[in-house]
């Protein structure tokens, strides 16, 4: 009986770098570290963590696919594939019924229609605008002094979401400060931000024509309040992977496995 084969996916995103290792059966190990500082060093560390978790050395990997905005700066040699394709592959394996993927990342929101085989049929990216990205949430969370992982649960407590009169993250920042001064609750401000972002996301999805099932990935997928707002804006159920920030790296690892076979 031959040794099991292992494959890795490395997603070098603007906010975090993620590594996933799979074998022929599925997920073996994963890692995630914020991207700040030296991308190469962080990527090396993430990969080392995942390999340690799996009890493997790097030379035991039979294939590696690298994706994400920082892919060109990876410290490893591997095939580069766009994160949209990796998301498509990963999500179709996690949710075979998925036909639309919404990936809300640190820099951009991407929407892709995928085929039953997990290939891209069409896609759109948000404009060069922070309102369409996770950066918007980061800015507002900083002003409210709310940790990112608490944004979702807190916003779900909202009773009267604040209406933002702007679709611009820069103006929304000053508007948030005004609302705080007026006594608005953080939960209501965050719910308002979610609605503003969801409206932008819905516009992108509608341009591609909504096709269920819809999967939400990226950092945005970890925000339960945002997932709810997107579902309400699209009037459809939103599926979220257990680890939405890892789905592109998972798809990359699966592509490495398919490429090898």
Partner 1 sequence: MEQAQQAKTTAVKGTDTAREVRALVKNIYRSAHEAKANGQKVAYMMVASQYDEILRAMDVVPLPTENYAGLCAAKRDMDRFLLKAEADGYSQVLCSYARIGLGFDSLRKDLGHIPEGSPDGGMPVPDMMLGSSAVCDPRFKWYQAASRYLEVPTYGIDVVAPPPQDDLNAVRDYYIQYQRDQLKGLIGFLEAQTGKKMDPDRLWEAIRLGDKAWQLWYDIDRLRVAIPCPMPSQDHFSIMVAGHYYSGTQIAVDFYQKLYDEVKYKVDHKIGVIPDEKHRILYGGGLPPWHTLWIFNYFESFGAVFVIENVYRGYDPVEVPSHVKDPVDFLAWRAFLRFTRYHEKARARSGNPIVEKLLDMIADYKIDGVVFHACRSCRATTIGQTHMKSELGKYSDLPMMQLVSDMVDLRDYSEAQWKAQIGAFIEALEARGK
Chain residues in the site for partner 1 (CB under 8 A): 69, 80-85, 107-108, 112, 119-125, 127-128, 207
Q: Cβ closer to partner 1: 62 or 80? A: 80
**How far is the C-alpha of 100 from the C-alpha of 226, rounded, in Å?**
17
The rounded distance, in Å, linking the Cα atoms of 59 and 14 is: 27
CB of 69 to partner 1, least distance (A): 6
103 or 222: CB nearest partner 1: 103
Provide the minimum distance between the beta carbon of 130 and partner 1 in the complex, in angstroms, as a whole number.
12
Contacting residues for 14 by C-beta, under 8 A, at least 6 apart? 35, 68, 69, 70, 105, 106, 107
- With left for phi above 0 and alpha for psi between -120 and 50, is residue 22 left, alpha or beta? beta
Taking alpha carbons only, the member of 239, 252, 227, 231 closest to residue 90 is 252
Closest CB 85 distance from partner 1, rounded Å: 5
Under 8 Å between Cβ of 118 and 92: yes
Distances in whole angstroms, Cα of residue 171 to Cα of each of 21, 168, 198, 224? 42, 5, 17, 25
Q: Is residue 256 within 8 Å of residue 8, measured between CB atoms?
A: yes
Rounded least distance, CB 216 to partner 1, Å:
18
- Cβ proximity to partner 1: between 69 and 234 the closer is 69
> Beta strand 61-67 with 79-80: parallel, antiparallel or unpaired?
parallel
- Looking at beta carbons, which pairs linking 175-179 to residues 24 or more positions away fall under 8 Å? 176/140, 176/143, 176/144, 177/143
Using a 10 angstrom Cβ sphere, with 0-12 exposed, 13-18 middle and 19 or more buried, the burial of residue 89 is: buried
Q: Judged by CB, which is closer to partner 1: 4, or 73? A: 73
Closer residue to partner 1, CB minimum distance, 58 or 171: 171
Q: Find the shortest distance in angstroms from Cβ 128 to partner 1.
A: 5
- Please, which residues bridge with residue 22 across strands? 7, 27
CB 248 to partner 1: min, Å: 12
Measured from the CB atom, the residue of 121 and 180 that comes closer to partner 1 is: 121
CB of 111 to partner 1, least distance (A): 11
Nearer to partner 1, 125 or 184 (CB): 125
């Amino acid at each position: 009986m031959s040794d099991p084969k292992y494959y890795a996916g490395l997603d070098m995103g603007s906010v975090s770098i993620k590594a996933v290792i799979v074998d022929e059966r599925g997920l073996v190990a994963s890692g995630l570290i914020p991207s700040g500082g030296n991308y190469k060093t962080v990527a090396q560390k993430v990969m080392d963590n995942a390999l340690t978790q799996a009890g493997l050395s790097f030379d035991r990997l039979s294939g590696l696919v690298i994706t994400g905005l920082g892919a060109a700066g990876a410290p490893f040699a591997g095939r580069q594939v766009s994160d949209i394709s990796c998301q498509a592959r990963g999500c179709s394996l996690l949710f075979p019924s998925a036909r639309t993927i919404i990936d809300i990342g640190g820099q951009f929101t991407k929407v892709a229609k995928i085929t039953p085989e997990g290939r891209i049929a069409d896609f759109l990216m948000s404009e060069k605008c922070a309102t369409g990205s996770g950066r918007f949430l980061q800015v507002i969370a900083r002003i409210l002094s709310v940790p990112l992982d608490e944004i979702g649960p807190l916003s779900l407590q909202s009773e009267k979401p604040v209406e933002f009169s702007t679709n611009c993250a820069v103006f929304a920042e000053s508007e948030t400060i005004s609302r705080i001064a007026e006594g608005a609750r953080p939960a209501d401000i965050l719910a308002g931000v979610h609605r503003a972002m969801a409206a932008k996301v819905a516009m992108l999805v509608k341009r591609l024509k909504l096709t269920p099932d819809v999967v939400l990935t990226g950092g945005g997928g970890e925000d339960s309040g945002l997932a709810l707002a997107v579902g309400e804006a699209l009037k459809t159920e939103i599926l979220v992977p257990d680890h939405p920030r890892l789905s592109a790296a998972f798809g990359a690892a699966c592509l490495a496995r398919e490429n090898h076979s």
